[in-house]
Amino acid sequence: MARAPYILLPLVFTALLQGQSPFRVTPPPPSPVPVLASYPDTPAGKLLKEIKDHAEVVSRVEYLSDMIGPRLTGSEHLRRAQRWAAAEMKKLGAENVHEEAYDFGLTWTRGVDSARLLTQNGIRFRVDQLAWSPATKGAVQGELLLVDARNLEELKAFQGQLKGKILLRTNPFDKRPSLPRRQGGDMASYQTEQAAMTQLLLDEGALATLSMSGRKNGLSFTTSGPGRDPKNPAIAAAFVPQEPYKMLLRQVASKEPVRLELSLGGSFSAKPVQAYNVVGELRGTELPQEVVIIGAHLDSWDLGTGATDNATGSSICLEVLRALQATGLKPKRTLRVILWSGEEQGLLGSRAYVEAHKAELEAIQAVLVHDMGTGMVKGFDLQGREAARALMAQAIAPLNDLGVRELPLRTMNGTDHASFDRAGVPAFAASQEPVDYFEGTHHSQMDYPDHLQPDQLIQGAQAIAGTAWELLNMPGRLPHGIVARPARTAPEGPTPTR
């Protein structure tokens, strides 16, 4: 679901516009985090108590967010974060700390974006460039045109009208089925058609496209455009928060000409670069060749500082190392901590890791990923692996009283466990309380540490630490195997990465 989608144009953001993202849920109020009167005198109990009493997870999120900042893959900020994380791992007792490189493509740096109406009320409004889309040629002025086209055939109806226009893509109130459903959901033909549509816009001389962010209360959004590979056709594109977007729609509907000035300032590197994953481990005492991986992506988007996406998960992984060091507990199997990059561009770091370590996948007991913000962990999605249920239930048993109880069979993609899952490795993402996530901080300009809920986050660290500890030490091995699923279909909206 999160791979290879980034050829997608803003015009495919249909579901986003319709509020139908698979991750679009109205969050219930967060459950209170259960509190234990005392912790059992077991290794897992000691680990959980150490985290409860001395967790440094909040301060690490704040450091990553406030002092390092947004961490786009390929940026110097992410390299700083990676050097910091490697140093932290060493300080926390990890061995074999190293980076693993993979080919990434062109890097992209956000510039200054601005928009103002030249007609009607003359207002300035927020625009945020779609990352990895090309800049406008300075401040461009053009008439706004609503282009409500879901496929190449429908777009062709606008041929001859697009030159010099700024396009308002897709009427968010249109409920027609979108392209993938009509074509039977084939991803490859979907992407090919999206590229053809972009090429048509470029050939016709359109200036830029604007899409609605889909968030309430002035929140913006970003994701990846197709420009990481210079061979892909790409047009300047931006998101507009819901309120000004709907104003533009009403103005266009009035039939009076709407003109605006738009400047999108993002820039690409001259050459493709490599990106990196940071890896560290604690070698197992009895079965060192068998491995439990805990991981999170250290890269982030750049409208906020990536506090909940995903400094939280990254800091939880470091917290597990800290708690093991503080308690002196030594696992039987090897614990490997991996902080991936390129997650937001399609799980690139974890995919590269799986590809580079194909021969060693059989030795992995399980992979646990934390990537849904600050909310407490309620369990792990089993990804259709019913055969893993008994041992996973055993692994979370010491955490049941902390609210970690759920093992739904459902499959969740959109973060790095999916790269392992597709290769047949038992790999699970934490199922979390959504606390401000998909409606708020996720990919938006409000992703700052203000939205942390320390109790929930510390429970999350306990959940990952306790589950990993049991998986590291239990006699049983989780069964491997590729789970038969229906073919992946093209997304109804922007491919969601968590």
Footprint of Zn ion (CB under 5 A): 309-310, 371, 498
Closest to Zn ion by CB, 2 vs 392, is: 2
Closest to Zn ion by CB, 22 vs 34, is: 22
Closest to Zn ion by CB, 50 vs 309, is: 309
Q: Closest separation between CB of residue 121 and Zn ion, Å?
A: 37
Q: Report d(CA 194, CA 491) in Å as an integer.
A: 12
Closest to Zn ion by CB, 133 vs 310, is: 310
Q: Closest separation between CB of residue 73 and Zn ion, Å?
A: 12
Bridge-based pairing of strands 287-297 and 333-340 is: parallel
Closest to Zn ion by CB, 350 vs 365, is: 350
Q: Closest separation between CB of residue 23 and Zn ion, Å?
A: 11
Query: What is the Cα gyration radius of the chain?
Result: 23
26 by Cβ neighbours in 10 Å (0-12 / 13-18 / 19+) ranks as exposed
Q: Closest separation between CB of residue 378 and Zn ion, Å?
A: 18
Helix, strand or coil, per DSSP, at residue 143 = strand
Helix, strand or coil, per DSSP, at residue 257 = coil
Q: Closest separation between CB of residue 365 and Zn ion, Å?
A: 24
User: Which amino acid appears at position 443 of this protein?
Assistant: H
Q: What are phi and psi of 431, to 5 degrees?
A: -95, 120
User: Which amino acid appears at position 174 of this protein?
Assistant: D
Closest to Zn ion by CB, 62 vs 186, is: 62
Q: In what order do the strands lie in the sheet with 427-432?
A: 95-105, 273-282, 333-340, 287-297, 364-369, 427-432, 377-380
Closest to Zn ion by CB, 371 vs 436, is: 371
Work out the end-to-end distance of the chain between its first and last CA atoms, rounded to an integer number of angstroms: 11
Q: Closest separation between CB of residue 296 and Zn ion, Å?
A: 8
Closest to Zn ion by CB, 147 vs 307, is: 307
Q: Closest separation between CB of residue 41 and Zn ion, Å?
A: 36
Handedness of CA 116, 122, 126, 128 (dihedral sign): negative
Is the preceding omega at residue 473 within 30 degrees of 0, hence cis? no
Q: Closest separation between CB of residue 497 and Zn ion, Å?
A: 6
Nearest to 300 by CA among 339, 331, 259: 339
Bridge-based pairing of strands 237-240 and 287-297 is: unpaired
